[in-house]
């Protein structure tokens, strides 16, 4: 087999292998994951109610689900304090913190290119309306 054919055959039917960053994108860039990680990175350890206040429009149910998934993925650490009343805090793990350079690059890209994206969208919508 040629080099390309070998690579194509090796990925088989698993679409994740066709794009090796897909699992990372699915895990890190789901709707609420990025704001949660960003908030924990920027503001440090937070209680649930503090996260709710900082991340607007998220429901308690979805925040709970995302925090559990992030804890399962090793990106967030949950600490239970057996006090009266009990206190639970969340913080970004070292693994989660390792995403900071990626987020910084994305923020930099956004600052430099989102105006272009908005202009492209306006141009597309104007052209589509003219059709």
Confidence at 16, pLDDT banded by 50, 70, 90 = low
Q: What percent of the chain stands above pLDDT 90?
A: 66
Give 68-88 pLDDT, tens digit per residue. Answer: 999 999 999 999 999 999 999
Domain membership of residue 128 (yes or no) is: no
Q: What's the pLDDT band for 109 if we cut at 50, 70, 90?
A: very high
Signed CA dihedral, 5, 6, 11, 13: sign only: positive
Q: Which residues contact 5 (CB under 8 A, 6 or more apart)?
A: none
The answer as to whether 124 is a domain residue is no
The model's pTM: 0.76
Q: What pLDDT digit, counting tens, does each position of 17-55 carry?
A: 778 888 888 888 888 999 999 999 999 999 999 999 999
Amino acid 6: pLDDT: 46
Does residue 81 lie within any of the structural domains?
A: yes
For the chain, helix (H) and strand (E) counts, in that order, are: 8, 3
Instruction: Give the domain range for residue 43.
Output: 19-98
Q: Is residue 35 in some structural domain?
A: yes
Between CA 5 and CA 1 the distance in angstroms is 6
- Distance between CA atoms of 72 and 87, rounded to whole angstroms? 20
Per the structure, the count of domains in the chain is: 1
Report if residue 88 sits inside a domain: yes
Q: Give the pLDDT score at 9.
A: 47
pLDDT at 2: 45
117 belongs to a structural domain: no
For residues 69 and 30, give the distance between their C-alpha atoms in angstroms, rounded to a whole number. 11
Mean pLDDT of the chain: 88
56, part of any domain: yes
What share of the chain has pLDDT > 70, as a percent? 87
**CATH number, domain containing residue 45:** 1.10.10.10
Within a domain: 114: no
């Amino acid at each position: 087999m040629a080099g390309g054919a070998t690579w194509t055959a090796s990925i088989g039917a698993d679409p994740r292998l066709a794009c090796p960053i897909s699992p990372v994108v699915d895990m890190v860039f789901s709707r609420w994951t990025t704001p949660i990680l960003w908030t924990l990175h920027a503001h440090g350890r937070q209680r649930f109610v503090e996260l709710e206040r900082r991340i607007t429009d998220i429901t308690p149910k979805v925040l709970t689900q995302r925090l559990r998934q992030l804890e399962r993925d090793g990106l967030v650490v949950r600490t239970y304090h057996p006090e009266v009343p009990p206190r639970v805090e969340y913080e970004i793990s070292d693994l989660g913190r390792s995403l900071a350079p990626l987020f910084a690059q994305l923020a930099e890209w956004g600052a430099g290119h989102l105006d272009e994206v908005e202009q492209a969208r306006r141009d597309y919508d104007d052209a589509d309306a003219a059709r």
